[in-house]
Every structure is written in C-alpha cells, then in structure tokens.
Structure 1
C-alpha cells in the first residue's frame, strides 16, 4: 500500500505543496549557494542563468522525463542559452553547464577538477572504485598501473582477437545478405566478445554464462537510465521503494559473480607463470589488462576488490560505447554512398590476406578514420561528462561554491558552428590533417580530454577500423533507417529509441 501511494502523482502533489509552503520566503532556494563572478560583474555577463519552470529553481524541470525528452530538454536548454554556457540551480547545489570548447578547456586541463559528479554515483554499485569513478591518489596510481596495458605492443596482440571476432561476424552477416539487418542485434555482441577476451583473456562464446552476462549488462543499463531520467531516483530510499532496485541487485550479482570467477581462474594461471620472462628479442613480455592488474596485486598495489572494480569498469566502458560508434558509423556509410566508395578504395589497398595486415597499415587508413571521427562528432557515444567542485574554486571567471556540479555537454561542443560550420552535415573531410590545423584543440573531445581522457581510445579506434574494413570489403551497405526516423535518447551512453537497420549486398 505504501509503495503504491509513493508512486502516485498524489505524493508529488503533496511534496510540491509542502515545498510551496516552505518556500514562501524562498527558504528552499536559499539552501543553494550562489555562483558569483570573480571580478564582481553581473553574473549574466559571463553565463546564462536558466529560469526554472517553477519558483523552486530548476528542481522540478526534469521530473518524469523520459530518455528522449531529456535529450530534447538538454538541446533546448543549449538553444535558449544562445551559444553561452548556462547555470541551473538545484536544491543544494548549482550546476554549471559547459557547451563551449573555450571554457571546457580550463576544466579539462585542471589538476583539481578530477572528481566526477553526482550522476556517476549511480554507477558506483556496478563499478565500485574503478578508473572511471575513483579520484585523487587511488585514481592516479590505478591510471599509472594500467597505462602499460594499452601500449602499442599490446594493441598488436589484440589485433589478432579483433580479426578473429570479425571473421565470426562476417559469417553471421553473410547469412543476412539482401534482407534488413538490425545493427543493434549483432554489433554489441561483437564488441562485448572483443572486450571480454582482451580485458579478461577469455572467449565469451565459449562460456555457458556468456548470454546471461550480456543480458545482465543491458538490464543494469536500463535501471541506470531509469534513475538518470527521474531526479527522485537519485535518492536511494526512493529508488529502493519505487525503482527497479531488485532488478539491479539481481543483475549486479550476475555480472560480479561472472567477473570474480574469471579473475580467480586467471589468478591461478598467473601464479603459475614466471613474471619477467624474457622473449627471444631480450625484451620483457607485456601483459594484457587483467595480467597487469594481477602483477600489481602481487606487488601489493591493489587488492581483489580493486581488480574486480577495474575489470567491471573496462567491460562496461569498452563494450557499449564502441558498439554505439560502430552502429552510427555504419548508418552514415549507408546514407552516403560517395563516402562509402572512398573508404572502400582506401581499404582495397590493404593486403588480400587479412591475417597479414598490421596495426601500422590500419593506422594508414586516414579517410576511414576521418569517417569514424565525424560519426563520433555528430553522435558521441558519451554525450556528456561531469565533475564536482570538492571545494570552492574559480573556473572561467566564475566563483563556483563547494559541491557545484559541472556538466560538459560533449554533444553540443562538437556541434558548435564556430568550429564545425554546417554542424548537422556529415562531412568526414573536416578531419583531414590540413583541415584541422586551426581548429580549437578542445572542439573535438569524444574521448574526453586532459588527464582524465579515455585510456582506451586507441584500442577503440583500432577495433572499429578492423570491423569497418572487413564489412566494406565484403558488402555494400545500403540504407534502411534514415536519420529522420530516429528519436535520440540521453543516458550514460547515447542511444536511439528505434533500432538502426541497414541492408547488405555482397560485393
């Protein structure tokens, strides 16, 4: 009975009436510490202050938003700000929204603004103190320990895995020739298999729990999106009573048990290895990510829980983000025949024997990389990133109180017409070397920037190139879904309400 009551509009009405009574003297708004300018000038001279839909600041603006209406709300807010960064005021803290590369630069380069904002707390039950969420000394030491796992030599060893998974996928695609292909059904399986084998050293297809693990990952994301789109769900007590709390717990148990079993198995294998083995060329062997973490554990630098957190973080970050980029890139290739043919011409110069293609040769696919970057510009896998001011700080001439939330809207930064004229047009030529010389260095930031940039961005670009090259060599990609057919959704990862479909024809 209580749960049913709390979930009704009656409760929201009651809360609103209570707030209205309390706020007769603007008591609620006075709880929010105000942003000021460093030079004493009017606040509106440096930032747009967005009025709320009620007298309670912006507290109720996104209540009951859906993923699609939240996406539109953010774009409408940016439009109302008319190219300026803007402020929202919430109950206990303001939020500084950055949509310009010039102001994002100071935040990205700051050595103090490295703590993630409140939205990332929703990921903590899944990712713990992994690299995405951790901060200060823990983050620094983990980042330093993991950097060797993405060394060029390690990427070369990953290339064989990418090629093997590509061959599997091409066989799947070959059975779907001349019919509609639902990219959302086939691409995520490819990227999850890749990250599982490269991060954990196991083949997901060879494990009976593979499909269950994939379903659990999707279920966790569904719960995350539910919480992102309802401010009340940020409160754990409300989420416990009204939200899909039990669904989250059940699926967290599945993914955590899965990764823990793999880690323990790899730990036993690792103990049987002799660390520091020298290869035929007299060089110390490099290890993949999990091996790197196990070596750090042997040196007392990390414990079992820390390893679990990092593995879960890499599984989460390296799977869905990459599949999102691949889906949008294949869509844009289907819609732009001339771009597709130019990519094919470049890919055709690679050796016929796929197994002999090196990382260096994939790096030489300059135009294909331009296509990937233009797709990421228009449809960034992660549409925003956030920071928290752990103490009062001065940013871009603004004095931000302690606990101020900062949201950097990557989607809007990379559609700024000052840096990308005609930003809604798909023009891969923007990223040819001669066309990037005078562009602001922080105008293109799909992998974030500064010291908290994505550690796996080279890994992702190589994985995407390998698959696109294989698809282009084997099939012509014809359009089925059009951009105007899609409803975009805002969440941890950018999505569309509809699945994206193309048609493949054998070459």
Structure 2
C-alpha cells in the first residue's frame, strides 16, 4: 500500500512539474495550440477529463470491451479529431481523413507510439516496433520478398491450403447429411497460419511442434497488452514486472518464441545457398528468378551478407506472424459472415467467380483472374472498412512538430489514428454502419478521400504484406463460394468487439454451409 502511495505522490509531482512548465493550463493542456494563436477548439475538440488528472484514469477498471467502445463513444460525441491528456501529455486522437493524411504522410512522424513498448517483450525491435534508420534498413531488406512476382508463386500454396479447407467442410457435411453449422474461428486460423508458414517462411506447419497453441498464446500476450493500457500505473515497465503480470507473461512469451524459433531452425536445415543465384542485389534476384523464395530465405541470405543477425531474424519472424496471421483470419471470418447475411451479394460473387472460372477445377486460378473479381473485392473491402484488422495505430512526436491544420504538437505527443472511426465517418460514407459493398465499385469511390479507407495504413509505414493478405483472402473465398452456399447464423449487426492491437469479436462467429447442387445461371450483374 505504502509503495503505491509513494508511486502516486511521485506521479503527482511529475504532473505538477509539467503544470509549472506550462504544459497544462486550466487542468487541461493548452500547449497543444494553433500556429496562429487562435483558440484550440476551432481546430480540434478536447476530450473532457473527469478529474484534475485529465483522462489519465478514465479507463481504470474497464473491460476489454468497454475500452474498445470508450473511443467509439468519444468519436460519436465529438464528431472530429480530439485531444486527451494522460499525466499531462497530450494524446491526439484522429477520426478525420484530412488529419490522418497529415500525420501518415509526415516523414518526421514514423516513430510508433509509446504503447508499442508493451509489445517489445514479444516482438523486440521488429518492423512493427522499430523506428528511424533501424526500421528503414529492415523495410528495405524485406520489401523485395513481397514483390508481385514472388506473390504469384505463393498462389499455389494458397490454393493447396484452400483445398484442405474445402475437404474439411465437405467431410463435415457428409457426416451431418445436410446443412452444417461451422465455427469459423476454429477453421480459418488454421488456414492462415499454414499459409504464412509455407509461403513467407518456407516451412510446412506439419513439420513444426506446438502449432495448435500459437493462436491461444498470441491472445494471452495481447490480453497482457490491454491490461497495461487500461491501468496507467502499469505503463511503467518496472511496476508491471514487479507488481503486474510481467513474471506471469514469461511462459507465454517463451512458447511464442519457441514456436518461431522452430520454424527458423527448420528452414535453416533446408536452406541451400547454392540453389540461390549469386546476384549482389537481393531485389534483382527476386525479380529475375522463377523459383519461389520465402521471406525467411531473404533474411537467411542477408545474414550471410552481414545485413542482419539471428536475433533480427527472430524479431521479424515473430512480427510477421503476429501481424499476418490473425489479421487475415479475422478478415476472412467477418467477410464470410457478412456474405452469409447478404445472399444477393453472395450470389453476385458466385456468378462472377463462375463466369471467370467455368470449371469447378480451381487449380488453374491465377492472379490475373483473381484481380478481375470486382464484386468479391468490394465485399472484402467493405468488410475491411467496417471491421479493419487493425482498428487503430499510434505515432509519437520525437520533436515539436507543426502541422498544416494549424496545430503545434509538443515533443512527446502521442497520436492515435483511429482507423475504425475514420472508416465509419459519415463525412465519407453514407449510412456508415451498413455493409454496402457497392460503395467500392470504381464509379462510387473515385472521388472519395484517399485516406478515408486505410485498412493497411498509409504513407511510409504502410503494411508491407497487404498484397499478400488480399491474395490469400481472395483465394480461399473463391474456393468456398464456388463449392458451397453459406447461410447466416451469427448476425454482424450484433457483433461486439474487444480492444487490442488487432480487431477481435467478443464471441466466435458461426455460419451454415450447404453444398451447391446445380451449376450457376448467369444473371445480369
């Protein structure tokens, strides 16, 4: 008890010092000011703190669900970007596309926010958490591994894994001799994890141990992250490790690192440098070879060239699996749920698939054919709009920064770009809470603000794997829709979401599956 009192007194002292240094006026910070000296309120709204501590303790005691809707309630009430204050530091919350464009295009604002520090025990300084020249070097190294010529060669794996899903569903149908209800949270993550391991990492998951535990351990790690966000006292690493769950996290982190290490070790055993062309330029090697190379192969070769060490390889494998596994899983799960609840659009997608691929044999599906499926892509994008895999992201000002919208942000300002709220901003989307895929048809989206839809972020730190994800998602959806009709069970209107780095539904998502009996009839689409 006395320790916490001492800590509280120390925090109050820091807060008072910041008041004295003119960081805070009238109990809320006004150093976050307009360039022309005009009122702050004319440029951005101010979140109302419940105490003299501003918004510091607003989230204390909340559940993960309450934390998610805490930000949603602010967006609904204020209807524009707003500022909050935690221990005297301003947090700039962005729900407007113009403001997002200013932040994400600013080359001085590539440092991730302070809360990403909570992920470092797991991800260390990988591509997600690093910054500056360190980040730039890693990004430059890994970008060639996601060139479209490489992604085309991954399509075979996506198709093979899709066939496994189809066979699994068919077996379930055979066992029930009728419509079959399936839990998408049980089936889809297995597909995405297998796909990532075999493509980007070059290892079949069957060759690794503990694969089934990976998703549950990721969830545990993310819960630890949320606990630290909810309780401001746990933002201190020392306090969290001493009085929080820092020690309890260690077994989970060890399991996660062990899983990725087993993948790296397996690939090392199979990696044969003699099979790679001796080309000095790594990017040129990828552009000129017909053989499929994994992202992990790029790093193993770079290790031999002294461009990365073993610890760096571990960081990037952990990062890519974390960012690429559950993100595509949730996008697939939610897209299937929306399609099940919108049979007319599902039929449009089925007819489009059947026209482009008349045969039920999908082995000849290629990237060009997938790129022509405009209705399917609209369905995927509309799901990403309503349920972006990453609902928000953070940046930090490492120096005082002036923005074109007349704001001066002091050093240390935290910035949260709320992708979820930008995507549902009625300024850019009519009936923003409705699933209307046609809004992404070319004629309906050509004049839309370029930053009103940013499911993969934007600017210099956009998602390196976005084309990989879209190709993976499209491939499985084509296989499912070509073979089965999907019927509603879970209603997306009733989905409740949980706070986290990645979007998650509070409950599992279910659909019903029916085998398609007859060939399609071409209707006007």
Same fold (TM over 0.5): yes
Identify which of 131, 137, 140 aligns with 1:135.
Answer: 131
* Residues 250-265 of structure 1: pairs in structure 2 closer than 5 A: 250-265=251-266
Conserved 8 A contact 1:393-1:399: yes
- Choose the corresponding residue for 2:390, options 359, 368, 382: 382
2:302 aligned partner: 296
Query: CA separation in 2, counterparts of 1:16 and 1:126?
Result: 29
Structure 2 counterparts to residues 324-343 of structure 1, below 5 A: 324-343=330-349
Determine the C-alpha separation between the residues in 2 that align with 1:126 and 1:195: 19
* Within-5 A mapping of 1:449-464: 449-464=458-473
1:305: how far off?
A: 0.8
Stretch of structure 1 that moved more, 448-457 or 20-29: 20-29
Secondary structure of 2:199's aligned partner: helix
Q: Does the Cα contact within 8 Å between 1:50 and 1:88 map onto a contact in 2?
A: yes
Separation in 1 of the partners of 2:48 and 2:218?
A: 37
Find the counterpart in structure 1 of residue 57 from structure 2: 60
Query: Which residue does the alignment assign to 2:202?
Result: 201
How far off its partner does 1:484 sit?
A: 4.1
1:165 aligned counterpart, secondary structure: helix
Q: Structure 1 residues 52, 15: CA separation in 2 closer, same or farther (over 3 Å shift)?
A: farther
1:27 CA drift (Å): 5.1
Equivalenced residues, count:
497
Structure 2 residue runs of 5 or longer lacking an equivalent are 174-178, 280-284, 517-525
- Structure 1: runs of 5 or more not aligned: none
User: Once structures 1 and 2 are overlaid, which stretch shifts more, 163-172 or 323-332?
Assistant: 163-172
Does residue 485 of structure 1 match 2:494? yes
Shift of 1:183: 1.2
Q: Runs (4+) of structure 1 moved beyond 6 Å?
A: 14-26
CA deviation map 1:207-244 (0-9, x unaligned): 33222334322322232233233323222233224433
2: CA distance, partners of 1:457 / 1:407? 21
1:309 aligns to 2:315 (yes or no): yes
Question: Which residue in the other structure is 1:431 paired with?
Answer: 440
Matches within 5 A, 1:495-506: 495-506=504-515
Q: Distance in 1 between matches of 2:134 and 2:8?
A: 41
Using the TM superposition, give the Cα deviation of residue 23 of structure 1 relative to its aligned residue in structure 2, in angstroms.
7.9
Question: In 2 relative to 1, CA 240–365 (structure 1 residues): closer, same or farther, beyond 3 Å?
Answer: same
Separation of aligned partners in 2, 1:48 and 1:490: 23
- Given that residues 28 and 56 in structure 1 are in contact (C-alpha distance below 8 angstroms), is that contact kept between their aligned partners in structure 2? no
Deviations 1:417-474 (A, max 9, x none): 1211111111111111111111111110000001110011010011001111111112
**Deviation string, structure 1 residues 255-296 (Cα, Å, up to 9, x no partner):** 2123223323423433453431699x9747562200111121
Distance 1:153 1:370 in 2: 24
Q: TM-score, normalised by structure 1?
A: 0.92
Q: Secondary structure at the match of 1:447?
A: coil
Distance 1:407 1:239 in 2: 23
